[in-house]
Structure 1
Amino acid sequence: MKASHTIRPVFDDPNLVSAAGLVPALRLAESAGLYDLLEERLSVPSANATVKAASVVGGMLAGADSIDDLDVLRHGGMERVFTGVRAPSTLGTFLRSFTHGHVQQLDAVGAGLLAGLAGRVPGVLAGADIEQGLAFLDVDDTIREVHGYRKQGAGYGYTRVRGLNIQIAALSTPLAGPVIARARLRKGNTGSARGAGRMVAQAVTTARAAGVRGRILCRADSAYYGWAFVGAALRANAWFSVTARMTKTVTRAIAGLAEDAWQTIKYPHAVWEEAEQRWISDAEVAEVGFVAFTGRRQHQHVPCRLVVRRVKRIQPLASDGSEQGELFAAYRHHAFITNSSFTTVEADQLHRDHAIVEQVIAELKDGPLAHLPSGKYAANAAWVSLAVIGFNIARAAAVAAGLAKARWATLRRQIIQVPARIAATGRRLVLHLPTHWPWAHAWGALHARATSPPQPVTP
């Protein structure tokens, strides 16, 4: 490929748009109830709050990761295609008018929209709408580094960088990619597990409202190993799968496992042995009955299963001479507690899939959460809530377009950021999209879904 030397660039066409995919994406959001929910629930003291909130979401879908970037909506013929486009300065003032209560209203809007999107695009939560189905609720948090001393709430957390903490509950199924059930912004020095019980309770409620009828498995890493997370899962009648901290009781239980209790599992570099019909690898799993949180009150003791995966160390540690020391010197042990009914191998495999929440965090940081754009804490919290709304719209749009495995950046590149020329015929606008666009069929599938009448609800 080589650029022509005869090109003379001129920015003078008022009928071009660079993000034509926003048309079906926002039409899908509208059909799922976004504008009605904003109008009904958002009471922030700002004129045309619904239009402004939708403008922020639209900018995020188009790739904006700061308030200034929201100006991407004001170019060419965008104001002919969309009504209510606002300037970045107006949207910044709008975000700064939020309080904590208004952010919670946005969270409620996001929960209602997820239910609407699941109804419009059933594949968003494929397989979880039957009583025998299964859904995963993965909770984790991340530090979004910030700069400048005027960022309210910024502090040094577990990463030892100055930032703000974002807690996320991602909802997925074995057949569908993750959406976000709940998310919240917290101060930078907040402990990971703080508020975990409330997060789980709200996320399970959101999942049920979105049509999840099957069993929910709540998964988390060792930062959430505690009664707050597990107790919330039990109260919600959900299963839990939480990485255990290597306390004395846990290590004692691991050391008590008999050698014949371990079974080999498929793991990186594993080899299938046909003659013996088993995997040959350095990873094995075993389980033992366990009672967690015995240091708490009697009614908060949790009988469960302790599932342990052990992997041979490449270079064994120096032993202390004891039998238990030999065990932990030769192997690395990863234990988690669960109350699920899966087999030992299945439980271990499903627990390792908890890392899907890291994919969600990476997508957000590659998009609107590349920055937390305001110095005001509530404005940044509103930005996070609107980013969640944008993420779920993008995920539903990807499923509707037949790109269920696509990440947000891929959706932007293939569907959203498609250039088009506007033409008028009678009272209609026509979008002339590029010929031979590789993903034209996917774009058309999304547009067809977004503009089709709602499907009848089956009892």
Structure 2
Amino acid sequence: MKACHTVRPVFDDPNLVGCAGLVPALLLGESAGLHELLGEHVSVDCPNPVVKSAGVIAGMLTGADSIDDLNVVRHGGMPRLLGGTRAPSTYGTYLRSFTHGHVQQLDAVNSRLLAGLTARVPDLIRGGSDRDGIAFLDVDDTIREVHGYAKQAAAYGYSKVFGLNAMLAVCSTPLTAPVIVASALRRGNTASGKGSARMLTRAAATARQAGVSGRLMGRADSAFYRHDLVTAMIKAKMWFSVTARKNTAVKTAITRIPEQAWVPIKYPNAVWEADDTVPGGGYWVSDAEVAETSFVAFSSKKKAQQVPCRLVVRRVRRLQPTASDGTVQGELFAAHRHHAFITNSTLTTIAADQHHRDHAIIEQVIAELKDGPLAHLPSGRYGANAAWLAHAVIAFNLARAIGVLAGKAHARARWATLRAQLINLPARIATTARTMILHLPRDWAWADQWQQTFDGATGPPPMSLL
């Protein structure tokens, strides 16, 4: 491939757009009730909040990670396609007018919008309504690094990074990618588990409103090993699966497990290391064993507050360092690393361990947000940054919905892939008989998927809604 040398660029066409995929995305949001919900719930003291919130969401769908990047919705013929576009400075003023209460109003919008999206796109949380189905609620937090001491609420947290703390709850099933059901921006030095019980309760209610009628399992890591969180899961009639901290009670329980109780497993991507110096000619680098024992969690609490449950333990053999000649010394006593979690599920030991390890799916959601809107927290004001996160959550769920509409190849695709293939698509606007026609690139590799998304967003609702 070689670039043409006879090119003269001129920025003069008012009918070109660079992100035609915003049309089906925003039409889908509108049909799911986005504008009505914004008008009903958001009472921020600023003119035209519905139009401005929709503009922020549109910019985030294209990959905007700062207020200035929201200018992407104003180029070429975009004002004709979307209508009501504003300058980035206007969006910045709007975001800075948010208080904590207004951010909670956006959370309410996301909760209700997700129910509307699942009604329009039933496969968004596919399997969650099956009688024997299961859905997972994962809770985790992350530190978003910021720079400059003018950032309100920024502080050094557990990761020794100066920033703000964002806590998320996502809902997924074995058949679908996760959607975000709750979020909160907090001070940078906030303990991970603080407020997690309240968020879990919100997340469970949102998942139920979105049509999840089957079994719910809440999952979290050891930073959320808290009595209030586990109690909230029990009250919500959920299974829980929470990594246990290595306190004395847990260590003692592990030592009580008899050697014959350990069942060998291997991870899905285990690597076989060939080695003629060990019996069998090699070993699995990622092999492990699992076992379980009965356990009473939070035994320091009053007896009525203690939680009888199962303690499932996975142990992984510590690999021995090679000697100077490259050989591995024979073991006298095998050493292991132990990973324990508590659960009240009725799954088998191996299935319980497998589902618990899948908690890592929330890390992918966090990575996608940091690769998009949360690449920066754009304002010095805490309220504006909290509103930015709340808008990002709405944009993420919209992107996930259009990916599901596009078909199997995009149903679990990452946000960056959806942006590149379905949203940031160039087009030229033509008008005939009072109808705008979008001329899209010929031979676009994902033309069929884009058309399927457009038809799903603009077509009639599913028969169950008629």
Pairing 1:33–2:28 present: no
Matched-pair contact (CA < 8 Å) for 2:135–2:212: yes
Cα-to-partner distance string for 1:274-309 (whole Å, 9 max, x where unaligned): xxxxx9773100000100001012221001000000
Alignment of 1:70-149 (within 5 A): 70-149=70-149
Partner in structure 2 of residue 437 of structure 1? 444
Task: Flag as ranges the 4+ runs of structure 1 deviating above 3 A.
Answer: 279-282
Pairing 1:175–2:182 present: no
Partner in structure 2 of residue 66 of structure 1? 66
Count, aligned residues: 442
Q: Distance in 2 between matches of 1:226 and 1:45?
A: 38
Pairing 1:295–2:295 present: no
Partner in structure 1 of residue 423 of structure 2? 416
Pairing 1:219–2:219 present: yes
SS of match in other structure, 1:265: strand
Equivalent in 435, 440, 453 of residue 460 of structure 2? 453
Alignment of 1:226-237 (within 5 A): 226-237=226-237
- TM-score, normalised relative to structure 2: 0.93
SS of match in other structure, 2:368: helix
Root-mean-square deviation (Å): 1.5
Alignment of 1:143-292 (within 5 A): 143-267=143-267, 268-269=269-270, 282-292=287-297
Cα-to-partner distance string for 1:153-191 (whole Å, 9 max, x where unaligned): 000001101000000001100000000000010000000
Q: Distance in 1 between matches of 2:395 and 2:301?
A: 41
Cα-to-partner distance string for 1:238-288 (whole Å, 9 max, x where unaligned): 0100001111111111111101000011224367xxxxxxx9773100000
Partner in structure 1 of residue 414 of structure 2? 407
Cα-to-partner distance string for 1:189-246 (whole Å, 9 max, x where unaligned): 0000000100100000000000000011000000001111101100100010000111
Q: Distance in 1 between matches of 2:432 and 2:295?
A: 71
Q: Distance in 2 between matches of 1:162 and 1:299?
A: 40
Kindly state the Cα deviation for residue 335 of structure 1 after the two structures are TM-superposed: 0.4
1:373 maps to a residue whose letter is P
Q: Distance in 2 between matches of 1:452 and 1:282?
A: 50
SS of match in other structure, 1:43: coil
Query: Please, which runs of 5 or more residues in structure 1 have no aligned partner?
Result: 272-278, 317-325
Q: Distance in 2 between matches of 1:159 and 1:286?
A: 32
Kindly state the Cα deviation for residue 315 of structure 1 after the two structures are TM-superposed: 2.7
Cα-to-partner distance string for 1:125-155 (whole Å, 9 max, x where unaligned): 0000123210000000000000011100000
Q: Distance in 1 between matches of 2:378 and 2:13?
A: 31
Partner in structure 2 of residue 342 of structure 1? 347
Q: Distance in 1 between matches of 2:228 and 2:7?
A: 63
Q: Distance in 1 between matches of 2:135 and 2:55?
A: 32
Partner in structure 2 of residue 428 of structure 1? 435
Equivalent in 353, 357, 381 of residue 358 of structure 2? 353
Matched-pair contact (CA < 8 Å) for 2:429–2:438: yes
Cα-to-partner distance string for 1:89-140 (whole Å, 9 max, x where unaligned): 0000000111111000000000001111111001110000123210000000
Pairing 1:374–2:379 present: yes
- TM-score, normalised relative to structure 1: 0.94
2:307 maps to a residue whose letter is V
Q: Distance in 2 between matches of 1:311 and 1:282?
A: 7
Q: Distance in 2 between matches of 1:172 and 1:288?
A: 28
Alignment of 1:14-29 (within 5 A): 14-29=14-29
Matched-pair contact (CA < 8 Å) for 2:46–2:94: yes
Cα-to-partner distance string for 1:366-416 (whole Å, 9 max, x where unaligned): 000000001010110000000000000000010001110211000000000
Q: Distance in 2 between matches of 1:181 and 1:95?
A: 22
Partner in structure 2 of residue 275 of structure 1? none
Q: Distance in 2 between matches of 1:437 and 1:238?
A: 45
